[in-house]
Structure 1
Amino acid sequence: MKRNENIVLLSKDHHFGLLCSWKIRQGIKKETEGYRIRKYILYFWKNHLEEHFKEEEQVLFPYLKDEYSFRIQSEHTQIKTLILQIENSENADYFSNFADLLEQHIRFEERSWFPHLEEKLDADILNTIGKKLSHIHSEEKDDYPDEFWK
C-alpha cells in the first residue's frame, strides 16, 4: 500500500516491529533461553519502540481525537504494561503476548489508522506532520548482536 510521504517514516519503523515479533516467536519455537529473549524485547523497547510510540503520540495524536487514536493509545498502554511485566519475568507467555500484541497493533495502524489519517487530514497538516517527524525521527537499524532466533 502506498503511504503518504509525510508519515512514511513511521510506516518504515513497522517493518522492524513485525520483524521483532517474528524473532520472538522463532526464539520461543527454538526453546531459546528466556533471559535472551527478554533481553532482546527490552532492547527493542528502549532503542526503538518507546521512541516510536512517543513520536506517534506527540506528532499524530494532536490532530484527530477519535476512536482510532483512542484505540492506539490504549494499545500503547497495554504494550507498556506488558514491558513492565517482562522486565520482571522470563515467562514465555509474556513474550508471546508481546509478539502477538505488537503485530496486531502494527497491522491495525498500517491497515486502518494510517489510511484514516491520510483520508481525514488535509495536505497542510500532513506536511506539518512530515516536517516534525523529519526533525525528530531517527532511522531504524536492526543490529542486535545476539541472533537467538536462528
Structure 2
Amino acid sequence: MGITDAKSLTKMEKKPIKRNENLVPVSREHHATLLFCWKLRNGVKMEIEPERITKYMNWFWKHHLEHHFDTEEKLLFIDHNDEMVKKGLEEHQRILAKINEINLRTEEKSYPLYHELADLVDQHTRYEERELFPYLEEKFSDQKLDEIGKTLHSEEHTALENYDDEFWVKEK
C-alpha cells in the first residue's frame, strides 16, 4: 500500500458517524459528556481543589447526565435481554456508582476517582456512538425509530452549559 492509499484509508476511518435523524438529540448530548470528561481531567491536571470539581460533577449529573441516562433507558435500552443493551445499562450503573463513591470519599482520594469517572463516561459514550446506537438503528423498525424521534424532538435536549465556576480554564 502506498502513502496515498494509507492517507485515504486514514480519512475513511475518521469519517464522522452518520446518525439516524431520530437519534440525533441524544447523540448530540454526547459531545457535552466528552467535554465533561475533558473538564474533569483538566481540573485534576491543574490541581484544582477537589470540592470545586465535585461540585461541578454533581451539577453536571443533575443537569445533564441523569436526564440523558433516563431518556436512553426509557426509549432505547428497552430490550433488557439484549447483551449490548445490558452493557449500556450496566455502564450507566457503574458511572452512577462512581459519582456516589466520589461524593463519599475524602478529598485526598478524589483525583484518581475523577480520572476513573472520566474514563468510564468517555468509554461509555464512545461505546454508544460507535457500537450500540448503530446496532439499535439496525434493530429497530423505521416505525419504532420514528416514534423515538417524535419523543426526543418534543423534549428539550441541550448540551449548553451555564455553570459559573470554569475551573478547567487556565487563568492568564
Instruction: Name the % identity.
Output: 45
C-alpha deviations, 1:38-85, integer Å up to 9, x for none?
111111001100000000000112257411100001000101111111
1:18 and 2:37 matched: no
Q: Is the 8 A contact 1:55 1:137 kept in 2?
A: no
The more displaced of 68-77 and 134-143 is 134-143
For 2:67 and 2:157, locate their aligned partners in 1 and report how far apart those are by CA, in whole Å.
Answer: 9
When the two chains are superposed, the root-mean-square deviation of aligned CA atoms in Å is 1.3
Counterpart residue number, 2:117 = 98
Compute the displacement of 1:103 (Å): 0.2
The more displaced of 58-67 and 94-103 is 58-67
1:69 and 2:85 matched: yes
Counterpart residue number, 2:25 = 9
The more displaced of 108-117 and 85-94 is 85-94
Aligned counterpart in structure 2 of residue 45 of structure 1, from 61, 65, 70: 61
Counterpart residue number, 2:8 = none
Higher-Rg structure is 2
For 1:137 and 1:109, locate their aligned partners in 2 and report how far apart those are by CA, in whole Å.
Answer: 20
Alignment of 1:52-131 (within 5 A): 52-62=68-78, 65-89=81-105, 90=107, 91-131=110-150
The more displaced of 131-140 and 24-33 is 131-140
1:143 and 2:166 matched: no
For 2:78 and 2:117, locate their aligned partners in 1 and report how far apart those are by CA, in whole Å.
Answer: 27
Q: Is the 8 A contact 1:7 1:130 kept in 2?
A: yes
Q: Is the 8 A contact 2:31 2:159 kept in 1?
A: no
Counterpart AA for 2:160: K
**TM norm structure 1:** 0.95
Q: Is the 8 A contact 2:102 2:113 kept in 1?
A: yes
For 2:72 and 2:81, locate their aligned partners in 1 and report how far apart those are by CA, in whole Å.
Answer: 13
* Unaligned 5+ runs, structure 2: 1-16
